[in-house]
Amino acid sequence: MDATPHCNEALQKELVELCRRYGDPAEEWVHISTPASIPGPAGFPLSSRRTAEVVLIVPRSGGRVLVHTKSFYPAGVWRLPTGGLRRRESIERAVRREATEETGQSLLPVRFLFHIHFRWEKSGKDFQSFGFLMSEGQGKIRSRDRREHISAFRDSDRSAMQRITHRLESLRGTWTAWGKFRAVPHRSLLRVWPVDGFTVGEAMDGDP
């Protein structure tokens, strides 16, 4: 089983504090039955030692949210920005760091939207995704990390997010398992999507 440095007492203590400050997230447990390992980028997270990531929901104009694509993705694939937790890194620090690296802007978390627990049956790997609504991005979005190979950004409303999710779920070949894994946070987001979309006012309601 993959080492799980983030499944520990410190993590649980931080989760309690994050819930106090940013609200209780919708929780979900997902069991996945796929090959124990898949080579290449499509093998993430099975091919990685990381056991947790943050998912960034960045509000944009018109109630939309930010999505991106990468140069090596199959055609027509977009998704929410994400980033893995480094060893001994707190969730909140990872959220702030990844927001800066992925968007080039200093965004702040304003609401804890969802917490997904993944388990891969054949490999025994556990993985967690923490979804945070961020402060609104202002101006041009530009990744600061060239290693991410982000090739484009765009804004997505709820209808477009449904199409993005369906595209991820319908990937075939070596990308099938990755697509199904990546689709889960998008489904979680759709379930908590406000009627009028995500706005700065909506994001700040109840924020300390």
207 pLDDT above the threshold of 50: no
Domains and CATH numbers, the chain: 9-204 (3.90.79.10)
Contact of 158 with 114, CB cutoff 8 Å:
no
pTM, 2 dp: 0.88
| 46 confidence band (pLDDT: 50, 70, 90) | confident
Angle value at C-alpha 54, between 8 and 203, nearest 5 degrees: 120
Number of residues that this document lists for the chain: 208
Q: What is the pLDDT of residues 129-177, one digit of tens each?
A: 999 999 987 778 888 877 778 999 999 999 999 999 999 999 998 898 8
Structure token pair of residue 175: 């990308």
Which amino acid would we find at residue 22? Y
